[in-house]
Structure formats: C-alpha cells, structure tokens
Amino acid sequence: MEKELKEIVIIYHADCPDGFGAAYAAWKKFGDNASYLPCYMPAPVPDGITDKELYIVDYSYDKNTLEQLIASNHSVVVIDHHLSAKEFVTSFSQNIFDTNHSGAVLTWQYFHPDQPVPSVLLYVEDHDIWNNSLPEHVEFNVALNQVPRTFQDWDTLIENLKDENFLINFIAKGSFMAKFESSIITELADLKERVLFEGQEVWAINYSGRYKSILGNMLAEENFATGGIALGIVYA
C-alpha cells in the first residue's frame, strides 16, 4: 500500500476481474489523483482511511463499519451488486446497488454516465453475474485473464479491441486456451465428493484456485439435475 494515501481513495474487490474492472472505471475518472486499494473479503478497513473522498466498488463493509467510515471521511460512496451486501449498501441513500449489473459496469455508469460501457467491462459482467450471453464469451474472458491487471494494460486492450482484426485474433487465442482450461476443470471436477449440508446431500470439492466459481456452478447444476438443490460447495 502507498505510504501516504491521496485525498481520493478507491477500495475494490481484490483478485477479481469485476473488482479490477470497477477500479479501472474509477481510474478513467481520477487517474493518478487517487489511491487504489485492492481488498479481499472479508478484511478490515485499510489503515489511513480518514478525511478522504472514499469510493468502495464491487465491495462493501457491514453497516457499522460503513457508519464509522462516513463519520470519519469527507464522503463515502459504495457501488456494489453482491446480494450478501444489499442490506448494508442500501442503508445509505448515496450508495449504488443493483444485482442486474456487475460492479465494473455499475462503477463505469456512475463515473461516466454519458459514455458507452467498454466491451471489456461488458464481457466481465457477462461472466461475473453468470449471464453468459455475449458471443464467444468463454473465449473472450479466458483471453482477458492472460492480460496483466494494470490500468494501462487494460486501457491499451480496450483501445486495441476497436480493431476487428485484433478482436478476431484475441478470440482465437482465447479459444485455444479455453480448450486447455476445460480439460483442467473436468479433471478437477472428478475430485468432487458427496457431503451433507444443512440436511441436504450436495457435491463438494476442496479447491481454492482460479476456477472455483466455475466449479461451484458446475457442481450446483449437476446436483440440481439429479433432483437435489442447486448448490455446490467449493472450500479450502
């Protein structure tokens, strides 16, 4: 973390394409005039968050923590879509909450209401909220995962994707890598086991890597297809 935080601080969901996309949307507004702090869930508030213009994107704290932040800072705005945070986020009128969009798209719409949402953020949203409706969404997001998560790298990518030939090559790269990843995910899924959870038998797997969301969704779908509840457990 920076030794001295700037007057504007962006807290965002760490190690997450949607969280980084939300931070990117803020960066397009503030650039180097803000500090950007990735945070895992759950985690305490970073040190030094007082007397700031604070934005918490694709992330939230509980109501008591938000009240403390509001009391000790010039302004606090939370932009989130996670259902688990709805009660906390909607407790304050200045916040933005919408489960129909991802954190990245909500943050872009907040800071850039008159500009179209970049295609990268739309694809991030498509995967993050499990719409999976955009063309070649799997290939696109697999390729995106190979792009370094720096603001400049994503900015360059967004500009390059305006070129049709670049987009075709980007999708082709993602297609090749998606086939490889699919075989890995299939092998991981074979490690699943039946467990009893809240009186229900469900599939579970011990795994903490980058495919945990995909595996969880696969296990939930498989459990539901065989007459169980739509729940899969991925634990570490």
pLDDT confidence bin for 1, thresholds 50/70/90: low
- pLDDT, tens digit, for every residue of 97-128? 999 999 999 999 999 999 999 999 999 999 99
Pick the CATH number of 8-116 from 3.90.1640.10, 2.40.30.10, 2.30.110.10, 3.40.50.720: 3.90.1640.10
What per-residue confidence (pLDDT) applies to 2?
Answer: 66
pLDDT confidence bin for 209, thresholds 50/70/90: confident
- pLDDT, tens digit, for every residue of 212-228? 989 999 999 999 999 99
Question: Domain locations in the chain?
Answer: 8-116, 191-235
- pLDDT, tens digit, for every residue of 55-97? 999 999 999 999 999 999 999 999 999 999 999 999 999 999 9
What residue ranges in 74-133 does DSSP mark as E strands?
A: 75-80, 96-97
Would you say 47 and 69 are in contact if contact means Cβ atoms under 8 Å apart?
no
List C-alpha distances in Å: 109 to 34, 41, 106, 142, 198. 19, 24, 5, 25, 39
Would you give the end-to-end CA distance of the chain in angstroms?
27
Task: Report the candidate in 149, 140, 134 with the shortest Cα–Cα distance to residue 170.
Answer: 140
